[in-house]
Chain A
Amino acid sequence: MDLVRIDAVHKHFGSNHVLKGIDLRIGAGEVVAIIGRSGSGKSTLLRSINGLESIDDGQIEVDGEKLTAGQTDLRALRQKVGMVFQQFNLFPHLKVGENVMLAPQVVKKMSRADCEPIAKAMLAKVGLAEKFDAYPDQLSGGQQQRVAIARALAMQPKVMLCDEITSALDPELVNEVLAVVKQLAVEGMTLIMVTHEMRFARDVGNKLVFMYQGKVHESGDPKELFANPQTPELQSFIGAIN
């Protein structure tokens, strides 16, 4: 049973055809790493899964919620899709706990009393239970990103989208964030991530998608693809990274 179905999705930025007919099936519990050069459309693809980018043609379906070209009301779909950003995007005027509780309170209309245990549990899961009353700017980049993960988890999404979530971090802070993501993968969360962490993609992922010029150029088991790239483009991409 596919949790995420992407069918014939096209997207243009002006005259630039960024997504040229993407088809992708992702099952529940899969951990998918999308790789590719900048400009290959990988970030755009990820962002269209929860409608941050509108699509021009095709259809995306997440757990029965459909998203088509020109659609504007995405609230039902977005409740099932969590997202973590490169730049964290925590709400700077709210404390950490409030960041995590905001969406459950205003979107799901839960009471604060009901939200608080969930928020605390999610913060504990990312190892930051004691930061409940801190403000985001009192945290390190790695801690902020873990709060962002907890914030997305608090909506109890079916899928998590991770958009280069370690790219803005200092090298010594990358691992604490990856450890949290790995834990989520182990617990069975469906993850779709655009990443530059090739080793992480290989070790934790169970599906690798290589994007090239707006298309899925190659996809399959990460370990096999890394060991045995079929196309010269993927070969040179892996070569350039190593």
Chain B
Amino acid sequence: MMTEFTLWDIIRNLITGLEWTVGLSLTAFLLGGAVGLLVLTARIGRFPWLQKAMKGYIELFQGTPLLMQLFLVFFGISLMGIDVPAWLAAAIGLTLFTSAYLAEIWRGCVEAIPKGQWEASSSLAMSWVEQMRYVVLPQALRIAIAPTVGFSVQVVKGTSVASIIGFAELTKTGGMLANATFKPFLVFGLVAVGYFILCYPLSHFAMRLERKYRGSSSH
């Protein structure tokens, strides 16, 4: 590696790291959303043992550090004799983390639907699946959008922890550059700016959505 870094060199490298951060965030958010939907279904479904299991799953991920979760995925898969690359461990760990949080957020949204909606659809002889599909989920979805977008900010920030298991995203790239350039103030400042550029629009969007949907109950 060269010893002389221009500002442009630093920024160029950080942008590469930023791209990996975006990739990991998108992967974790999309896969986490899909897994989270399954967790949600089991969590609010009609099988008590599944409900309990999913409650445990959510509490496990909300009660332990993300870093521990990544370590456990990383070393847990290695136990089975499979060599896991850091990006894969990070993607799996963050997906599980995201799924637990999203499932819990969405459960809150489903439970915010008034009891009368369940009763009215019950009295019309609709089954649980039909009630969910036609009455509850369409309404829950509307109120879920803002907190879901809001949580995406936590996912983006969470990807920085993947640097610790060696995935060269933005924070890891920053750490390497800080060591190489002896300009930690500048480099970590720029790293922070990088995250801010990703997160601020999402935060802002979430806030606007929340204002828009608060108080309006339909269409």
Complex Cα gap A51–B118 (Å): 13
Q: Which of A51, A76, A107 contacts B130 (CB 8 A)?
A: A107
Stretch from B7-15, B84-92, B135-143, B157-165 that touches the partner: B135-143
Question: Which of B17-25, B121-129, B170-178, B180-188 lies at the interface with chain A?
Answer: B121-129
Please report the C-alpha to C-alpha distance between residue A151 and residue B130 in the assembled complex, in whole angstroms. Answer: 16
User: Are A91 and B135 CB-contacts (below 8 A) given A107-B130, A135-B218, A137-B217?
Assistant: yes
- Any chain B CB within 8 A of the CB of A92? yes
B residues 179-202 in Cβ contact with A at 8 Å: none
B123 close to A93 (CB less than 8 A): no
Please report the C-alpha to C-alpha distance between residue A74 and residue B123 in the assembled complex, in whole angstroms: 9
Contact indicator A107/B126 (Cβ below 8 Å):
yes
**Interface positions of A from 137 to 163, Cβ below 8 Å from B:** 137, 148, 151-152, 155, 161
Name the residue of chain A whose CB is nearest to the CB of B142. A93
Measured CB to CB, the nearest residue on chain B to A81 is B123
The size of the chain A interface, using a CB distance under 8 A, is 31
Q: Which of A75, A81, A135 has the most CB of B within 10 A?
A: A75
Mind listing 19 A-B residue pairs with CB under 8 Å? A51-B122, A75-B127, A81-B123, A83-B120, A85-B116, A87-B116, A88-B116, A89-B116, A89-B120, A90-B120, A91-B135, A92-B139, A102-B124, A102-B135, A103-B125, A106-B134, A107-B125, A107-B126, A155-B124
- Within 8 Å CB of A74, what residues of B? 122, 125
What residues of A have a CB within 8 angstroms of the CB of B219 in the complex?
93, 135
Main secondary structure of the interface of B (DSSP, over half): helix
Cβ-defined contact, B134 with A102, below 8 A: yes
**Is A137 a contact partner of B218 (Cβ separation < 8 A)?**
yes
A190 interface residue, CB < 8 Å from B? no
Q: In the complex the two chains form, what is the Cα distance from A151 to B125 in whole Å?
A: 12
**Which residues of the partner chain B approach A52 to less than 8 Å between Cβ atoms?**
119, 122-123
Q: Which residues of B contact A87 (CB under 8 A)?
A: 116
| Chain A positions 38-53 with a Cβ under 8 Å from a chain B Cβ | 50-52
State in angstroms the CA–CA spacing of A137 and B126 once bound together: 23
Number of A-B contacts (CB under 8 A): 75
Closest partner residue, chain B, to A107 (CB atom)? B125
Q: A52-B119, A92-B139, A106-B130 are in contact. Are A151 and B218 (CB under 8 A)?
A: no
Residue on B nearest A51 in the bound complex, by CB = B122
Q: Which A residues lie within 8 Å of B139 (CB)?
A: 91-93
- How distant is B196 from chain A, measured CB to nearest CB, in Å? 36
Q: What 3 A-B pairs come out closest when comparing CB atoms? A: A89-B120, A103-B124, A78-B125
Interface bits A65-92 vs B (CB < 8 Å: 1, else 0): 0000000001110110111010111111
Most buried by A among B117, B120, B127, B134: B120
User: In the bound complex, do residue B123 and residue A50 qualify as a contact, i.e. CB atoms below 8 Å apart?
Assistant: yes
Picked from B119, B125, B134, the residue with its CB within 8 Å of the CB of A155 is: B125
Residues in A whose Cβ lies below 8 Å from that of B117: 89, 91
List 18 additional contacts besides A91-B139, A135-B218; criterion CB under 8 Å.
A52-B122, A75-B127, A78-B123, A85-B116, A85-B119, A88-B116, A89-B114, A89-B119, A89-B120, A91-B117, A91-B121, A93-B139, A93-B218, A102-B135, A107-B125, A135-B219, A152-B123, A161-B123
In whole Å, how far is A40's beta carbon from the nearest beta carbon of chain B?
21
Residues of A within 8 Å of B133, CB to CB, are: 106
A136 lies within 8 A of chain B by Cβ:
yes
User: How many Å lie between the Cα of A51 and that of B119 in the bound state?
Assistant: 10
CA distance A152 to B125 in the complex (A): 10
Contact at A91–B123, with CB atoms within 8 Å?
no
Asked, given contacts A85-B116, A87-B116, whether A92 binds B217 with beta carbons under 8 Å apart, the answer is yes
| Closest B residue to A151 using CB positions | B124
